[in-house]
Structure 1
Amino acid sequence: MAVFPYDIHATDGRARTGTLRTMRGDIQTPAFMPVGTAATVKGVYMDHVRQAGADIILGNTYHLMLRPGAERIARLGGLHKFCGWDGPMLTDSGGFQVWSLSKLRKMSEEGVEFRSHIDGSKHMLSPERSMEIQAELLGADICMQFDECTPFPATPDQARASMELSLRWGARSLAAFGDRPDQTLFAIVQGSTYADLRAESAQRSIEAGGYGGYAIGGLAVGEGHEMMCSVLDVTTPHLPADRPRYLMGVGKPIDLVEAVYRGVDMFDCVIPTRSGRHGQVWTDTGPYNIRKAEFAEDDSPLDPAIDCPASQNYSKAYVHHLIRSGEMLGQMILSRHNIAYFEDLMRRIRTEITSGTYDRFVSDFRAAWA
């Protein structure tokens, strides 16, 4: 398979900036990937996602295989053409979603048999099927190995069993992925909150060979911010310096800032658009709720510091009215602003690392967040 070139441009402590060069374009890191669960970044046009500064978006294997169906997307030319995104795209393996369906699934060595949350139909998702969907049918540029997301909390024995299963599924994912010169496959490091298991998972994934990057899974599942940082402290030092490191499903702005501080390069999360649908506006000091009465006659923009029409061209009073009235335009404005804010945060992080001032930036951000 392809191992996309990854050029490191600057470092500041463990934080670094770089460029991941894919066949569909370059990804500047640290990078935040807006989540396009069902072939759409909810409420935001793809050209607006690009204008916000996103180089790459994420697609969801589980949801797309159920609706409209991976084979249908393939017949229509693949996921990029289907949703109108011509840049790089990463797809998750589906493992997290089927893990979350505890009452609808049955797990075995073969894979996960589950019933659709849409119509109750029965499906089997295995490493081989996940690779077929991601690489063949959807045509993702970056695919993820099939894994089990270790639950939290987990005993050492439970965490080891889960890690071992993910390693075996990773080997099958590599074999099924095969030789794809235009696509790459990332490993997923598991091990729950146990430093020895995280180190072992990373080392054995590296020894397997062939992976184009390394993801850190099993976080953002209830362990909390401080524990997440502790796990990153004992995990990223074991990952190759010349490969991108991806923290899956994270997170809030303070999580991104702290994870970059610990050497992480790539992120994804549904927070920008999910928050937008619920009236939350993200800023450096956390989110504020536009539904509150205090904004009913506030004529100031959502955030004049963000270079985005949604952030600058609509007053808080107007968006307050839209959200309180149930108008979809309000949700669209907030979702577009939130994505622009997250992408602007990544741009500022890259600038601070390049300038050698990231320590100060992190210190100021922590203070503002507090």
Structure 2
Amino acid sequence: MTGRFAFEIDSGDGDARSGRIFTARGVVRTPAFMPVGTAATVKAMFPQDVRDAGADIVLGNVYHLMLRPGAERIASLGGLHEFMRWPGPILTDSGGFQVMSLSKLRKLDERGVAFQSHIDGSKHLLTPERSMEIQALLGSDIQMQLDECVPLPCTDAEAERAMRLSLRWAERSRKSFAEAPGRAIFGIVQGGAVKPLRIESAKALSSMDFHGLAIGGLAVGEPQDVMIDMIRTVMPHLPEHKPHYLMGVGTPDDIVEAVMRGVDMFDCVMPTRAGRHGLAYTRFGKVNLMNARHADDRAPLDPQSSCAAARDYSRAYLHHLFKAREILGMMLLTQVNIAYYQELMAGLREAIAMRRLADFVAEIKEGWARGLEASV
């Protein structure tokens, strides 16, 4: 690998910006949506199909990969990129969120999190230092600090405790990060839905020389207006010249609202999970292919789509595949959804560059509204 990690802003429109993140393994065009490859695979998709859909970067999950097949094993097999046949950049999360949400038993203290695997009950200790070691073994291009993510709503006291612990873990994560050409580490702003805590977290992390800053602890059950309020609160306190990443978000509407407020990066399991359950995302909004109304519909999901799965297969056929529980249905709708998300990001980038973001957002929201009316 050669090169350096860098972020360049090419265009702006209001608070929104389009740009490029440079890594040793390639360039990420922003705003960017990262398909989630939890266990070294974007579920139901070939790596080349993910690339062909327009994705520049994918996300890998520390918790799942450390448990199976193991970070040391992946390293011995050439690293995560070689293992999953993805040559482009990979961002890995720290594993903290999954420890909190999936482990059978867990005990959190200043050292880190001791937990039992949800797979076989084996015992593990995930510390900031171990999380950074695992991510280095995987060979990820962007690594995330270990943090504690609390569900919302929560008490102000609980949000403060988790935020301060996450700041202490951020310092340890940054210190343990193995510097390498083109490799980066991001800090994570926490603080629940408490504005002063979010501001304090953002300011403290901005002083720690991270390569980028993420907003964590949102899209965990709070209403959209709370999420937007927290983004609006945090943004003035993040370095403008570094990437801004909103973790775990989300719906197309959430993404659009966040881009308009200066967010550059997103990830979410929503498009792949929905695709495996018969729900398609299109420029006409969401389409539930499990609905009987599609059983005799010869029309495709979108005759103008660049995605063959959306353009060349009838709604009746897709409906049949899900009713028959055929794997092809999951594969086709996952392709539809990943392609739509990438087309949305490309449209946002172009609109920002042309300084017509407000018009573009109005047009796509009108399309979603028309689709909703047609489905009633």
Superposition TM-score, scaled by structure 2 size: 0.95
Question: What's the CA shift for 1:304?
Answer: 2.3
Alignment of 1:17-166 (within 5 A): 17-101=18-102, 103-135=104-136, 137-166=137-166
User: Compared with structure 1, are the counterparts of its residues 55 and 354 closer, same or farther at alpha carbon in structure 2 (3 Å cutoff)?
Assistant: same
Indicate conservation of the 8 Å contact 1:253/1:284, yes or no.
no
Match of 1:267 in 2: 266
Indicate conservation of the 8 Å contact 2:4/2:22, yes or no.
no
Whole-angstrom CA distance in 2 between matches of 1:212 and 1:3: 11
Indicate conservation of the 8 Å contact 2:145/2:188, yes or no.
yes
Alignment of 1:1-370 (within 5 A): 4-101=5-102, 103-135=104-136, 137-209=137-209, 211-370=210-369
Whole-angstrom CA distance in 1 between matches of 2:366 and 2:228: 17
Whole-angstrom CA distance in 2 between matches of 1:3 and 1:37: 26
Question: What's the CA shift for 1:180?
Answer: 2.2
Which string of whole-angstrom CA distances, capped at 9 and with x for unpartnered residues, describes residues 164-191 of structure 1? 1000001000111143233110000011
| Superposed structure 1 runs of 4+ greater than 6 Å apart | none
Question: What's the CA shift for 1:366?
Answer: 3.9
Indicate conservation of the 8 Å contact 1:6/1:244, yes or no.
yes
Indicate conservation of the 8 Å contact 1:52/1:339, yes or no.
yes
Question: What's the CA shift for 1:3?
Answer: 6.8
Q: Which amino acid aligns with 1:240?
A: P
Whole-angstrom CA distance in 1 between matches of 2:31 and 2:312: 28
Which string of whole-angstrom CA distances, capped at 9 and with x for unpartnered residues, describes residues 200-239 of structure 1? 1111011122x11000000011112111111111111211
Whole-angstrom CA distance in 1 between matches of 2:176 and 2:11: 36
SS at match of 1:118: coil
Q: Which amino acid aligns with 1:71?
A: E
User: Compared with structure 1, are the counterparts of its residues 299 and 49 closer, same or farther at alpha carbon in structure 2 (3 Å cutoff)?
Assistant: same
Q: Which amino acid aligns with 1:204?
A: A
Match of 2:372 in 1: none
Question: What's the CA shift for 1:152?
Answer: 1.1
Aligned length: 367
SS at match of 1:257: helix
Match of 2:374 in 1: none
Question: What's the CA shift for 1:301?
Answer: 1.3
Q: Which amino acid aligns with 1:217?
A: G
Whole-angstrom CA distance in 2 between matches of 1:38 and 1:249: 16
RMSD (Å) for aligned C-alpha atoms: 1.3
Whole-angstrom CA distance in 2 between matches of 1:293 and 1:50: 33
Q: Which amino acid aligns with 2:105?
A: L
Whole-angstrom CA distance in 1 between matches of 2:26 and 2:178: 22
Indicate conservation of the 8 Å contact 1:150/1:163, yes or no.
no
Whole-angstrom CA distance in 2 between matches of 1:195 and 1:306: 41
Indicate conservation of the 8 Å contact 1:3/1:184, yes or no.
no
Superposition TM-score, scaled by structure 1 size: 0.96
User: Compared with structure 1, are the counterparts of its residues 115 and 187 closer, same or farther at alpha carbon in structure 2 (3 Å cutoff)?
Assistant: same
Which string of whole-angstrom CA distances, capped at 9 and with x for unpartnered residues, describes residues 264-298 of structure 1? 00000011110011000102343111111111111
Q: Sequence identity, in percent?
A: 57
User: Compared with structure 1, are the counterparts of its residues 328 and 288 closer, same or farther at alpha carbon in structure 2 (3 Å cutoff)?
Assistant: same
Indicate conservation of the 8 Å contact 2:203/2:237, yes or no.
yes
Whole-angstrom CA distance in 1 between matches of 2:269 and 2:263: 18
Compare 93-102 and 241-250 and name the one that shifted more: 93-102
Whole-angstrom CA distance in 2 between matches of 1:231 and 1:285: 29
